[in-house]
Amino acid sequence: MLNSKNNKIPKGWKVLIENADYLIDQEGNIYNSQTFQKLKPWVHDKSKTNHYLKLDLYNRHKNKNEKFYVHRLIMNNLIQEIPEGMLVDHINGLKFDNRVENLHLLSAQENANLWYSTQCKFQKTLQHQIPTLEEQKKYIKKVVESKTKFNQNTSKIQNIPNHLQGLIDINDLEVEEYEI
């Protein structure tokens, strides 16, 4: 347990560039500089596209909380300053994996090219493994079933990754029919 009475910053820790009331350790954990309490990152559950870990840091000069992305705090404080126009990318595609070795900088164009070339790096897969063809078929079957359930056209399903479109015929997936 850290002792906040002596107010000494533990070795290897830094004061956050973004807010001097907080500290960051070498593993990317953020702490209150007065109490040495570790802050818990959160994810906005209602967002369907943005599952990055965030922190609320209180800015006493503005008398309000400010939201920060954890991966950007780690890049800016432990790796290098983020140049204007550059994005912090998760190498393995997992937005919650904020290890220093998993973060690097990309331009917006590089990031877009990478996204399109890897079809979002199969972010639905958690174990750093490429899904098998059977797992991918199951995922596509769920997409087709959900569209069928709500009487949506299944002839143009946009969620199928490009590299699978020729391998899987949606008519062979034995999809349950739904009536509304």
Burial zone of 131 (CB within 10 Å; 0-12 exposed, 13-18 middle, 19+ buried): middle
pLDDT of residue 179: 41
pLDDT of residue 111: 86
Residue 55 CA: distances (Å) to CA of 34, 58, 73, 171: 17, 10, 10, 45
How many whole angstroms separate alpha carbon 47 and alpha carbon 67? 15
Give every residue of the chain whose pLDDT is below 70, as ranges: 1-7, 45-49, 117-133, 135-137, 139-180
Distance of CA 91 to the CA centre of its chain: 11
pLDDT of residue 41: 92
pLDDT of residue 169: 56
pLDDT of residue 50: 72
pLDDT of residue 76: 96
pLDDT of residue 96: 84
How many whole angstroms separate alpha carbon 91 and alpha carbon 83? 18
Calculate the CA dihedral of residues 99, 162, 43, 11 and round it to 10 degrees. Answer: 10
Question: What's this model's pTM, rounded to 2 decimal places?
Answer: 0.61
Strand partners, 19: none
